[in-house]
Structure 1
Amino acid sequence: MAEAHKGWFVAGCVFLLLLCDSHARIHKLTLMNETRSVIDLNNFGFFVNGTLEVKLSALRVQESLVNYSLQPVGFSLSRSRVNGVLSYTAEETELCPLTLTKLTNDEPLILFLIDIHSLRVKVNAMGVQDNILISKAAGDGGQRKARDVSTTDKPSNSDAKTLKPSEQEQQTKKPKEAQNITKPVVLKKDNVTEENLKSDAKDLEATTFHLDGRTQPSLALDKINTTYAFSFRIVIGSKAEGLYSLKFHYCQNRVPRFRLPYSFTVQVTEKNPDGFLSAAEIPLSRLYICMAAVFFAAAMVWVYTLMKHRYSVFKIHWLMAALAFTKSISLVFHSINYHFINTEGHPIEGWAVMYYITHLLKGALLFITLALIGTGWAFVKYILSDKEKKIFMIVIPLQVLANVAYIIIESTEEGSSEYNLWKEILFLVDLICCGAILFPVVWSIRHLQEASNTDGKAAMNLEKLKLFRHYYVMIVCYIYFTRIIAILLKITMPFQWQWCYEFLVEVSTLIFFVLTGYKFRPASNNPYLQLPQDEDDVEADEVVTESGALEGISKVKKTSNGRERQKESTL
């Protein structure tokens, strides 16, 4: 068994090393022969002056089979309150979002319609807009022809000579006019300085557009051999900050039983003024380090309690201490991981691996400890029944699978086809584990109910039964709150306060740990350790469950009435 666990651990470490590089806030996704009609690329909470930069390349579609006027291809950027919930209504979602011309609300929605025949990307901004768009503006037919025959973003010298002088003057004149029109409107808003806009436009060789709901820019679409590419950058204004959802749409594939394959590579870079984290994730680094300190302090108090009552300590008490310390260390690495994501845009490999390893250990220790306490092992039982052993054989592998699924989700881009699959696997496995962990407690309660009517010790068994019922209620409340209530609170919170979901989960975990430790503390007045036992049970427990610290110590045993005591030397 030990060799098997060692093999799982080594395999997990190698698996983590392979995955940790892909999880970042600078997203890059490559899809080949994809057939989905909608791809959810990412969800991100933007503050004022936050930036979204999208670079689409290697777009390959079947040109002759698609009517791009009726079934367009492109991106939608919509503000949503919750991840995955779009701003437009359910009735509107029955149609392709790229075909919308007006909304029933004022939520900002920006559509990027890719027209490969005219080599343009038409931008349709709806709702209350206060954003700035920076991208290459589309030129006239001569300029698009130059892009079409080139293999780079810039036309060759021979292509440039074919343009008439009047056309060249017109091409260079239009972007300047567009910049002169938009600058007086944009430069005074939201601390966006003239130098920043000039720098952004220069980097992209682009034009700056102020999206006010009426502007409909036309962007350049570059053709490189048989593929297409374009890029844009959006600066979020003061009236438009919020949680945004970026999606890619291939509307032709919405038709039932009609699937055209397509391929593309997209790089998405999202950034707030203070770093690469979403608005709801910015406080998490400080939250996790503070909670790590609290869990560490609680673990030290628990160790002090064990040392103070060392004659009543069992092995499971030290397992509970190991769980508290592992939880604290996991939160430290989680905080460091978020810090580097915020500053670098991606995690540092070593810190990410350490976080995933401690996360795996914490999850396994948590459910093992809960199951052992629920069965009463080490307190009043020295062996596990066959049914209880089966629970461990089920829960532990499922917990490993759940943690692996979590790591894969963290390391996979939202737009990949495997993301939703592993998300569903994680939800299902977590639900099964939470349900299975209740069985040992239920079995113990049922056993005590039967024993209270048969062995003549009804009062003492009912006292133990009461303790197990309290513990059962604690587990149910913990699972119910962290899996349901906290998620419902997250949905109702504003986007910048959704970090409170993580805060509530960590606080509820701390409370659960403290209450569990209090109920099963190694103290002489603990009702769990005061239960009377038969002569045979005492002899077995003395041999199996007493720790080494109890050797040579006299044992006090109650009689059935709990008043008279008989002292027997265990020497």
Structure 2
Amino acid sequence: MAVCERRGLGRGSPAEWGQLLLLLLLSGSCSGRIHRLALTGEKRSDIQLNNFGFYTNGSLEVELSVLRLGLQETEAKFPLVGFSLSRVQSGSVGSYPTRDPHECPLQRNSSNFLVLFLIDTKDLQVQVRKYGEQKQLFISPGLLPDVPSKSGLPKPEPTDPSKVDSGTSTVSKAKTEPVSQVPAGKTSSDGGSVSPQAPSGKDKELVLGLGHLNDSYNFSFHMVVGSRAEEGQYILNFHNCYNSIPGRERPFDLTVMIREKNPEGFLSAAEIPLFKLYLVMSACFLAAGIFWVSVLCRNTYNVFKIHWLMAALAFTKSISLLFHSINYYFINSQGHPIEGLAVMHYITHLLKGALLFITIALIGSGWAFVKYVLSDKEKKIFGIVIPLQVLANVAYIVIESREEGASDYGFWKKILFLVDLICCGAILFPVVWSIRHLQDASGTDGKVAVNLAKLKLFRHYYVMVICYVYFTRIIAILLRVAVPFQWQWLYQLLVEGSTLTFFVLTGYKFQPAGDNPYLQLPQEDEEDVQMEQVMTDSGFREGLSKVNKTASGRELL
């Protein structure tokens, strides 16, 4: 069971950041569908704990084991602490709309909430208030007793309200015992389990027992989706309205366990196909890499170092997807990944990300194809992209190894998005500089036909990079928001499919020069064409002198 605690991150030396990266690589067990979030000294008023796509007979179990509110007042007429459960039919958007940050969402009736769990610390009870027509959404106290033992996880024992309330203020047994026998939204025959909050006829209320030990509160409940009408993407939030007033925030401690499950396993509805998807895409990238190596072996004379770097990228991508697929398999069966495999996935993902942007930038600069020296501007681009890629991979590892409710989760998610956009923009500059140089050189160095062919090639490559970034960063996100919750795996399909297409087209365009019409010299000009020194703003061929043709007819740079 993963345990993720809030950690503060400050400025440190490179050695400290290296230790942090190693720690993040070893903390992969925090990623899973059995969550345990421990927050200490938390001051946020709203915390998004998790979101999950449920099919029929899917279950959500929540165990609040520690809740310490400190010195906050509990004499309010209305509970100011609790959980909210909402459903989003399509897309992973916010659990509640934009509102006044000083307004408590627990104090208003809202159609955006399906269920509110209002923690009344004064009467030691939890009011379960439902909104709308939820006929087959069953909510009961305690955890589900049946958990497969073959997964290696401890079986949760059902919560006994009488034991939870022992040593605390008196909680009426009539309020807690019959709850598990009455579906949410129904009325008990003895009237003990349902107490209407308002005579609206639609809002129903159950009452659960709240345990109190020393200065800590605890309770547990589970929810079962009983019909197809209740299927959807559910979002669970925790609210502490005592901290919604600026300047009056008081730290609190929270420890909560969340277990989500569908009939097929622990994966969300949108994640169930990902195991097969990543496995198939891994095989596709592996096949592409093997084919590319065979092409290189048949044209050894015309192969450059950049060609082998492209092969290494394809194989690294394949291995990364393979480990990603295996992780999803174990998450589905056990609720969490195998730690060693998760670390291997993070390492290969880090290498893949660095190789991808380095390869794109090198190809865009024309390195090895038309020159062997990088200009000062191009070196600066690499000096920016490589550290940013390391930072982006650190952000990815943090996001994967943290719970959504962790304090630094949102921070690192913003860092990943921002750094990714900067890298995507930075790798376009070498391509633009190459196009500009070829335009200037086409009329000055006596090789108009050759430079026009190369100019056409780099223009095509520029369009390919733009389309790759556009499809994987914009279209894919729009698709994820637009499709129903169970089809959101199409987002990953579009990203991986676009990446594979980009790899294949890049390999075709920049295949070894013997088979590449764009990088060949015209036969009639082979004997008398010479290189001239060209000085441009980008530093293209800077420091190179004029060299005669070799006997083989190949141009030496």
TM-score of the superposition, structure 1-length normalised?
A: 0.79
1:528 to 1:40, Cα distance in 2 relative to 1, 3 A: same
Task: Note the 1:483-502 alignment, pairs <5 A.
Answer: 483-502=473-492
Q: Is 1:412 aligned with 2:417?
A: no
Q: Deviations over 1:339-360 (max 9, x none)?
A: 1111111110111011111111
Is the 1:449–1:465 contact (alpha carbons within 8 Å) kept by the matching residues of 2?
A: yes
Distance in 2, matches of 1:425 and 1:64, equals 34
| Residue number among 550, 553, 557 corresponding to 1:556 in the alignment | 553
Is the 2:49–2:236 contact (alpha carbons within 8 Å) kept by the matching residues of 1?
A: yes
* 2:44 counterpart residue number: 36
| Residue number among 111, 117, 138 corresponding to 1:132 in the alignment | 138
Q: Is 1:221 aligned with 2:210?
A: yes
Is the 2:74–2:121 contact (alpha carbons within 8 Å) kept by the matching residues of 1?
A: no
State the 1:455 CA deviation: 2.7
Distance in 1, matches of 2:317 and 2:551, equals 37
Q: Which runs of 5+ in 1 are unaligned?
A: 1-5, 138-146, 187-206, 545-552, 559-567
* 2:508 counterpart residue number: 518
State the 1:248 CA deviation: 0.4
Distance in 1, matches of 2:353 and 2:180, equals 55
State the 1:237 CA deviation: 2.1
Is the 2:175–2:209 contact (alpha carbons within 8 Å) kept by the matching residues of 1?
A: no
* 2:373 counterpart residue number: 383
Q: Is 1:115 aligned with 2:115?
A: no
Is the 2:165–2:210 contact (alpha carbons within 8 Å) kept by the matching residues of 1?
A: no
* 1:463 counterpart residue number: 453
| Residue number among 529, 534, 543 corresponding to 2:530 in the alignment | 534
Task: Note the 1:262-411 alignment, pairs <5 A.
Answer: 262-411=252-401
* 1:481 counterpart residue number: 471
Q: Which amino acid aligns with 1:131?
A: L
* 1:153 counterpart residue number: 164
Q: Deviations over 1:433-463 (max 9, x none)?
A: 1111111111111111111233343333222
| Residue number among 64, 83, 91 corresponding to 1:82 in the alignment | 91
State the 1:37 CA deviation: 1.1
Q: Which amino acid aligns with 1:133?
A: I
- Superposition misfits of 4+ residues, deviation over 4 angstroms: 6-13, 88-94, 173-186
SS in 2 for 1:381: coil
Q: Deviations over 1:307-349 (max 9, x none)?
A: 2222211111111111111111111000001111111111101
Q: Deviations over 1:204-246 (max 9, x none)?
A: xxx999xx95531111001101111111111112121100110
Q: Which amino acid aligns with 2:530?
A: D
Farther off after superposition, 7-16 or 322-331: 7-16
State the 1:181 CA deviation: 5.3
Give 1 or 2: higher helix fraction.
Answer: 1
1:375 to 1:217, Cα distance in 2 relative to 1, 3 A: same
Q: Deviations over 1:62-106 (max 9, x none)?
A: 4553554346110000001332423x5556988422123353xxx
SS in 2 for 1:511: helix
SS in 1 for 2:519: coil
1:179 to 1:112, Cα distance in 2 relative to 1, 3 A: closer
* 1:562 counterpart residue number: none
SS in 1 for 2:139: strand
Distance in 2, matches of 1:406 and 1:344, equals 23
State the 1:501 CA deviation: 0.2
SS in 2 for 1:496: helix
Distance in 1, matches of 2:402 and 2:358, equals 28
Distance in 2, matches of 1:8 and 1:321, equals 33
* 2:9 counterpart residue number: none
Q: Deviations over 1:515-563 (max 9, x none)?
A: 00000011424234224762578xxx9xx9xxxxxxxx951259xxxxx
Q: Which amino acid aligns with 2:221?
A: F
Farther off after superposition, 473-482 or 256-265: 256-265
Query: Over aligned residues, Cα RMSD in angstroms?
Result: 3.4
Distance in 1, matches of 2:500 and 2:16, equals 29
Q: Is 1:25 aligned with 2:58?
A: no
Distance in 2, matches of 1:367 and 1:179, equals 55
Distance in 1, matches of 2:424 and 2:209, equals 53
Distance in 1, matches of 2:427 and 2:181, equals 66
TM-score of the superposition, structure 2-length normalised?
A: 0.81
* 1:506 counterpart residue number: 496
Distance in 1, matches of 2:272 and 2:21, equals 28
Distance in 2, matches of 1:342 and 1:312, equals 47
Distance in 2, matches of 1:35 and 1:324, equals 45
State the 1:176 CA deviation: 6.2
Q: Which amino acid aligns with 1:352?
A: A
Distance in 2, matches of 1:95 and 1:414, equals 23
SS in 2 for 1:114: strand
State the 1:371 CA deviation: 1.1
| Residue number among 236, 241, 257 corresponding to 2:247 in the alignment | 257
State the 1:258 CA deviation: 2.8
SS in 1 for 2:133: coil
Q: Deviations over 1:139-181 (max 9, x none)?
A: xxxxxxxx99x9x73637xx99xx9xxx9xx83x676655665
State the 1:115 CA deviation: 0.7
* 2:444 counterpart residue number: 454
State the 1:288 CA deviation: 0.3
Distance in 1, matches of 2:295 and 2:219, equals 64
Is the 2:80–2:119 contact (alpha carbons within 8 Å) kept by the matching residues of 1?
A: yes
Farther off after superposition, 452-461 or 224-233: 452-461
Distance in 1, matches of 2:393 and 2:178, equals 55
Identity across aligned pairs (percent)?
A: 57
Q: Which amino acid aligns with 2:393?
A: N
State the 1:48 CA deviation: 0.8
Distance in 1, matches of 2:506 and 2:254, equals 52
State the 1:256 CA deviation: 3.4
1:32 to 1:93, Cα distance in 2 relative to 1, 3 A: closer
State the 1:26 CA deviation: 1.0
